[in-house]
Each structure stands twice: as structure tokens, then as C-alpha cells.
């Protein structure tokens, strides 16, 4: 019979493999560890640990940013941003692919959710890209890869969770640190998108007429102000990250009802209801992950696994390569929130053992998970865009490999030059 420390991971992996919900897998793995390795009265801690996992003030930001993304998605923001981006880029080969990436980057500064951005942008861009001659599989891949930058561009739900799980990390520093790597990731998608468009003759420049620049800019201005308000308020100290989420919701409701006038009472109700369901799923995973985290820490399972990783090599570069490979594989089959909750307790001792900067490491985690979000066979962002474009995921593999290669190159740059991530938070005076 395997030891409790081993069984906690065997049960977790087995349940995930058979398709069990992540929340159930985390809770059951923790319960098995408690039953096998601790006194039976420790089962009485299940309720306490479930509650303690979500009884954290910063977590209030998660449902609020989810609501923000839903409101912006349904208020016509994406359509106005697309029009402005098309006015900037103009009709050229690969132009619509560049537009899709730019819009995803801006939308990422509102919702912090890759799948939400992928859905909103795909709904608007897919018909135009199909009309311009882009294959549906290419369209789905470009939008999925571009939307993966939302995990880096502040406000990122994944970075909020990281700041809660890793003691001493300043969320404002994380948000600032994610900005330039996020833009770099966007450029990494644009490069192969334009090259492939020219190579295969997508969009010969004879598409729809270029929108007037000033008129489209004015139409997009309310949406463009959203990231400015969120990040500007954080930088000025006017509000905390949690309060920023409240401001973002209020601003989204205002521009949706008073400016774009695409949100009625029925639409708002639907947005609140859908956001509540999605937020409940996220918080349920976090709460039940508290059982897994407590059991793993109490049994010493996380320390043992971390020591095993540390024992593979004392070379930080080799260890980091192993960690990145693990995160990439995890990103292919799991969502970002689940990956953080499962792997951070394991990786934190490794990070501390090699004395890696916690802010920098958090950004590396986010970039690696971002790559996994559009890497088949699962790839949560691709699942969304292939559904919108009605194309089988297997047809995206050839296109996705180009995007993955470019994004991995961007990740390598952030590994080699940590200041790409750390310069901005250091300049702004945040603790990194």
C-alpha cells in the first residue's frame, strides 16, 4: 500500500484522468490523505479548511472582475475596439489577425480571463476573417493564442490567486510585472500570424473599407479608458486591487447602459447571473483546494515532492526547465486557476530553495500556462474559439505549433532577462 504522501497525488491524478471535476478531485485527494495518514478526528477540520480557503478579502476581486469581463463582453466593447484597431492597422495581409491580437490585449486589461476574451473577440472577428479568406482553423488559433495573454495583462484572476497563495507577494507588483511580458506575448503571436498570412495569401487588402480613424477612436475611447482607470487607480493609491474591481464593475455598467446603450435590465440580470455561476465554480475549486493544501502540508507531501525536484539537479537552469515543462503540460489539460491551486504548494519550496524572485517566478508561471491554454489536445481557449468558428480542434494543430514556438521564445526572453518583468514594478516603487 503506497504511503499517504504518495496516495494524495495518486488519487488526484486518477480522478482528473477519469474526468472528475477538479474541485471534487482536490477534495477527495485531501480526504484520502487525512484518512490514511492522520488521526480520524482530523476529519473535523474539513469544514474549517474549506471555509478558510476562501475567507480572504482579496478573493472578493475575483467575482467582481469576472462580472466586469461579462459586462464588457456584452456591452459592445469588443465591436468598437475591433473597429478602432482596423482603422489603425488598415487593409493589408495579416491585418485582421493583428487586429484580433490587439483587441485581445485590450480586452485582457478589462476581464483578466482568457476564455472570456476568446469568446468575445471570436464572435466579432470570425465572420470578418472568414470573409477576408482566413481559414477557420487559423482564425480560431490566432484568437485563442492572443486571448491567452489575459492571464498576464492586469487585472489577471490567476495573478490574484498567486498573490494570495504565495506569502509576501505584492499584487500591485505582479500586475505591473505582467504588463511587458503580456505585450511581448502579443507580439509573439503577431509575428507568425502576419508571416503565415503573407505566405498563404490570406487577406489581400481588398476587404472592407478602412474605418475613419478619429471616429473609431472616439467610439472606442470609453473602452480604452477601462484599463487606464483600473491601473491608474492602483498606481495612485486611490483604491486597492479589490476596490479596483468594484470600480471596474461600476464603470462597465455605466458605459454599457449610458454610453453604448447595449445593456438593458434583462441583459444586466443575465450578466449578473452568468457571472455568479462562473464565480461560484472558481470559488468552489478554491475552497475545496483548501482541504488538499492542508492535508498535503500536514503530511509533508509537498515538501517531499519539492525535495525530489531539488534532488534532480542543483543547477537552477535545469530545475527551472523541468518546472516550465511541468507547467506547460498542466496548461494543456487544466485551467489556470486549478494549476495554481495544485502546483503552487509544491513549487513554492522549489522557488525558495533556488531563491528565485517570487514576482518574476509568478510571471513565468503565467506565461507558461498561457502557452498551454492554446496548445492541443485540451487547450481551454481553443475549446472556446473552435466552438465559435465551428471547426474541429485537430485542424488547428498545424497553426498552433507556430504560435507555441513564438510564445516559448518570448518566455525564454523573460527567463534570460528578468528585468523585462521586474523593471516596471521596481520603477513604480513596488516591493518585488
For residue 206, pLDDT beyond 70: no
For the record, the C-alpha cell of 307 comes out as 525535495
For residue 378, pLDDT beyond 70: no
* Window from 32-41, 112-121, 217-226, 242-251 with minimum mean pLDDT: 112-121
Backbone angles phi, psi at 20, to 5 degrees: -65, 145
Average confidence (pLDDT) over 217-238: 81
For the chain, the average pLDDT equals 84
For residue 204, pLDDT beyond 60: no
| CA count, 13 A, side-chain hemisphere, 324 | 19
Rounded Cα distance between 230 and 240, Å, is 10
State what percent of residues in the chain have pLDDT above 90: 19
Angle, in degrees to the nearest 10, between helices 358-372 and 171-200: 30
Q: What is the pLDDT of residues 9-31, one digit of tens each?
A: 888 888 888 878 888 888 898 89
> Confidence band (pLDDT; 50, 70, 90) for 187?
very high
Rounded Cα distance between 155 and 325, Å, is 26
DSSP 263-274: --HHHHHHHHHH
Q: Tell me, what's the pLDDT at 182? A: 93
Q: What is the pLDDT of residues 208-224, one digit of tens each?
A: 667 888 888 888 888 88
Q: Tell me, what's the pLDDT at 239? A: 80
Residue of 116 and 276 predicted with greater confidence: 276
Task: Report yes or no on whether pTM surpasses 0.85.
Answer: no
> Exposure of 209 by Cβ count < 10 A (0-12 exposed, 13-18 middle, 19+ buried)?
exposed
Q: Tell me, what's the pLDDT at 91? A: 76
Amino acid at each position: 500500500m503506497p504511503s499517504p504522501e504518495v496516495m494524495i497525488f495518486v488519487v488526484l491524478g486518477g480522478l482528473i484522468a477519469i474526468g472528475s471535476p477538479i474541485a471534487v478531485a482536490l477534495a477527495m485527494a485531501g480526504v484520502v490523505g487525512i484518512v490514511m495518514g492522520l488521526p480520524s478526528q482530523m476529519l473535523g477540520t474539513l469544514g474549517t479548511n474549506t471555509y478558510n480557503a476562501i475567507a480572504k478579502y482579496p478573493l472578493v476581486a475575483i467575482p467582481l472582475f469576472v462580472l466586469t469581463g461579462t459586462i464588457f463582453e456584452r456591452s459592445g466593447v469588443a465591436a468598437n475596439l475591433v473597429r478602432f484597431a482596423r482603422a489603425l492597422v488598415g487593409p493589408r495581409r495579416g491585418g485582421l489577425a493583428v487586429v484580433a491580437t490587439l483587441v485581445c490585449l485590450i480586452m485582457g486589461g478589462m476581464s483578466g480571463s482568457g476564455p472570456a476574451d476568446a469568446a468575445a473577440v471570436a464572435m466579432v472577428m470570425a465572420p470578418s476573417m472568414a470573409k477576408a479568406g482566413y481559414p477557420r482553423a487559423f482564425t480560431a488559433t490566432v484568437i485563442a493564442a492572443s486571448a491567452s495573454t489575459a492571464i498576464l495583462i492586469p487585472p489577471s484572476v490567476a495573478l490574484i490567486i498567486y498573490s494570495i497563495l504565495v506569502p509576501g507577494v505584492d499584487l500591485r507588483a505582479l500586475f505591473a510585472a505582467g504588463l511587458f511580458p503580456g505585450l511581448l506575448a502579443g507580439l509573439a503571436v503577431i509575428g507568425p500570424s502576419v508571416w503565415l498570412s503573407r505566405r498563404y495569401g490570406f487577406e489581400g487588402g481588398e476587404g472592407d473599407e478602412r474605418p475613419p480613424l478619429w471616429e473609431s477612436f472616439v467610439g472606442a475611447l470609453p473602452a480604452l479608458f477601462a484599463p487606464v482607470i483600473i491601473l491608474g487607480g492602483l498606481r495612485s493609491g486611490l483604491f486597492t486591487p479589490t476596490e479596483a474591481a468594484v470600480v471596474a464593475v461600476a464603470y462597465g455598467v455605466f458605459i454599457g447602459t449610458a454610453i453604448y446603450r447595449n445593456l438593458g435590465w434583462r441583459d444586466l440580470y443575465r450578466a449578473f447571473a452568468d457571472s455568479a455561476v462562473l464565480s461560484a465554480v472558481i470559488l468552489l475549486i478554491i475552497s475545496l483546494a483548501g482541504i488538499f493544501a492542508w492535508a498535503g502540508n500536514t503530511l509533508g507531501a509537498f515538501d517531499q515532492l519539492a525535495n525530489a525536484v531539488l534532488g534532480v539537479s542543483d543547477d537552477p537552469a535545469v530545475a527551472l526547465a523541468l518546472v516550465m515543462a511541468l507547467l506547460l503540460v498542466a496548461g494543456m489539460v487544466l485551467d489556470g486557476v486549478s494549476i495554481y491551486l495544485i502546483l503552487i504548494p509544491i513549487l513554492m519550496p522549489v522557488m525558495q530553495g533556488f531563491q528565485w524572485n517570487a514576482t518574476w517566478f509568478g510571471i513565468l508561471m503565467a506565461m507558461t500556462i498561457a502557452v498551454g491554454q492554446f496548445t492541443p489536445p485540451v487547450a481551454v481557449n481553443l475549446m472556446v474559439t473552435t466552438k465559435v468558428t465551428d471547426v474541429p480542434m485537430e485542424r488547428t494543430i498545424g497553426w498552433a505549433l507556430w504560435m507555441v514556438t513564438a510564445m516559448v521564445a518570448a518566455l525564454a526572453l523573460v527567463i534570460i532577462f528578468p528585468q523585462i518583468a521586474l523593471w516596471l514594478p521596481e520603477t513604480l516603487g513596488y516591493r518585488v
